[in-house]
Amino acid sequence: MKLHSAEKFLLLAQHPEKGRFLIPGLHVNYGMAGALLLDLLLEGNAEIKDNRLVLNDRKRSSDPIVSETSMLVQQFKNPRSIRTTINKIYRKSGKFKSLLLKRMAVNGYIRIEEKSFWGFIRYKRHY
């Protein structure tokens, strides 16, 4: 199976033994937003004209994450700058990150473990 740019980015940002990211969360989220936008551009669903992101009137993507990214961009009435678009995607980055990590775990690229602190504070580690 072919990995998308966002999945490759998350794999590169992983610490191999500690089960967390090597870089701070803000950088992970903005980098993932940029990678999702890159996936949208590489599939041909959008293009850049005059430093603005313009969606093409093509069919929807088979990948649900890329199609949801294009739905976020479609909410703009006029073409917006790349910076504005990345900020819009960044606001939903937690949802996208959890979906990507779950999909990579199902495909066998990473392993997700649920742990607890003092028995009631739950958190996840991804190796």
Q: Is residue 102 within 8 Å of residue 73, measured between CB atoms?
A: no
> Among residues 76, 82, 79, 80, which one has the least CA distance to residue 36?
82
Taking the model in full, what pTM does it have?
A: 0.85
Q: What percent of the chain has pLDDT over 90?
A: 22
| Cα 71 to the center of its chain, rounded Å | 14
For 69-120, what is each residue's pLDDT tens digit? 888 888 888 888 889 999 999 999 889 998 998 998 998 888 888 888 888 8
Tokens of 122: 């739950």
Contact 127, 113 (CB under 8 A): yes
